[in-house]
Structure 1
Amino acid sequence: MTVSRMLRSVLMMAPALIAALGIAAAPAAAAPPPAGTGTPVLHFNADGSTSIEGTIESGHPVHIDFDPARLPDCRGTDEYGDSWGISVHYRIDGGEVRAYPVTERVTAGGKDSTIRGLATVQLRPDTRHLQMWFVAEDRAGCHEEDTDHGATYRFDIAQPPVLARATYHADWSETLTGTLRKGGALVINYDPARLPQCRTTYRGYPAWAIAAFYRFDGGPVQSTTVNQGAEVIPVRIDIPANAQKIETWFAISNYHAQCSAYDSDYGRNYTFSIN
């Protein structure tokens, strides 16, 4: 990639970099995920309607699927191809405004094309309200917004019980507060200093992800991402009604650098009994 093209990539990502810390990396997909993936999806459809697939709950991720046809005006091009993008701007419980792209840029035949993407927002365990709007921009200075006529899009977040919290400290100690109960929930607080490897960026965004892996009673392994961009936040794991114990371990990975590292108590995993 030439220096001018690298600079162009950084400039095109700039609108979505505003307060980008805390945003999960969006998968490179041109269409929403198939039904039944388990993660709820907020669909913003081409006809202006909004629909919810699944139940949005605190402590869990939610996908944002935005049809670019809702913001059709900013479609600038240049010598490299498409020079426009759309980002979701959102606020949790009236806090800091954050942003992340809901379109992707792909290059084929020497030309850039902007395609429909998917953003993922990881909600903290105490999240109660989610507010968002969408912004389209191009390099020519065009700016267009979808704000639900100025009201912005607002969603109330369900609050299942959280009975225990496991904290994985930077000094390699672990503490469990509260009681792990069948049918309850466990909040994981993970300090990213435990996995300092693989920290590179791609097009201005953190290219690494930390995943929490877990399983109940030796059963199937499940996982959830615990970082949004450069920020690691608490996540919630729901406990089955018949579970006796939970094992947890963590891994950092970087697809672009082909790098990975594990935190698994030297292969023993971190295990907690469930009452």
Structure 2
Amino acid sequence: MNRAWVCSLFLLGCGVQDEILNDEADALNVADAPLLGANGQDGAERACNVVLRTVERTETNCISTGCWWTFTGFIDVSQTAFDEGAKPRVLFKNIDATTWGDVASTKVTGAPAGYVRYRFKLTKNTVKDGMSATAYARANVQLAPYLKTTSGARLFDHNRVPGALDAYVINQAGGWKLEDDAAICHGDALVGRSLNFTGAFTTTQRGLIVAGEPLTVNYELSRLTTCRGTHNGFPAWDLRAFVRFQPSGTVVDGSVRAFDAPNGVPQNAGAKNVPFDVQVPVGTTSLEVWFKNSGGAGSQCEAWDSNYGANYVFTVSPSPARVEWVGNGGSSFNRNCSRTDGVPASVTLDSYLRERACAFVETDVYVPGLTDSGNSGVGVFAQAELFIDGAPFAVTELQYLGRVGNDWRYQWQLPKTELFYAPKWSKLEYQFRFSTDGRVWKRDVKREVVRDVTFCNPSWASCTL
């Protein structure tokens, strides 16, 4: 899903200038409170398919029950969720209410690329006009935006509120408004979720597979080599991936092979694998994958890679919680290569460290409901961002070591060889980052490695710093 966009708060403002595309707002209804995980119909949505952008107090609405402050807000819905028929609604209640109100929203213009924007208004049962200063200091309005899917399920926006039953709160301390958070659900995913079918007949999964999110299938062509038909000397065969989503049963397919074509002429010798990108529909609970190799050009040749007819089956997970904590660092910069607690803020890389000592850093990560419930290592993107003399150098993957208590532990090895053959440098800075969705990252502190003059590649003009 392409979400490359920049959004200004000015675009997310009052909304009275927005063109209304359709008006689906209805009267205030009474609704059940969110029951995440309790009734099978409610879920936490953390994959940027529905996100509350802004809320602000606007006019005052006087009716038979009194004068109520009106609050106007904007919700962005992913194009994928919109295309699948999901509709945004908002539950709300004031501090004294015993039941939740439920309002629909109106589709308006002004959405960034990849989203559809909706506006909602809360016109009664919010905050009464004319209360005392003490009453205003106590008052608040809780909001729980959600997507209502075509199956009737409610997926509640938890992209900005972490707890499973947390709600947005509008109160006096916050100026009776909610502003956009530029760090939440803005921009393209930096890291993609993928299934990787290797030539060694192993399958690896990168990231949790999440409904409403993109997924890439990578397939090594050497797994199926039976059919390599040609026509007039040119490749005619194909190798296709099939993905079936459950419970809908919908099947999508696409080719995972392409050819290098020197001088515009494709050749079998130039066959190469290409990724197959799919969008996992909202509401999917599992998916099956299989592959078919066909000869083409009228050939009857067919071969299958389908886990002996059972297909490769993968669980589709709810949107995971965000990384909540990073810490408990450890390291080794000596010959015994054993971890000691703590990580130095600065390390000197000299000839001894290069040739005779280990050089690694470890850290632990906690994600509620993930790291404390298993030890697969699937679901957290763990990377090190490297900078040489202030300029970006590389982003490398951290090695998953296993579960420690309720945390997962990761290790980074100082890339001594790469640094030795890099252009001459003086200081390397590194910083670990962790994410469950590839968009929002929890970063550890930035640390440094300073080059000593004894760490020197003879090809450099000099060894001075």
Q: Give the TM-score category using the shorter length.
A: 0.3 to 0.5
Normalising by structure 2, report the TM-score: 0.27
TM-score by length of 1: 0.44
Q: Which has the higher contact order (CA 8 A, sep 6+)?
A: 1
Q: Which one has a bigger Cα radius of gyration? A: 2
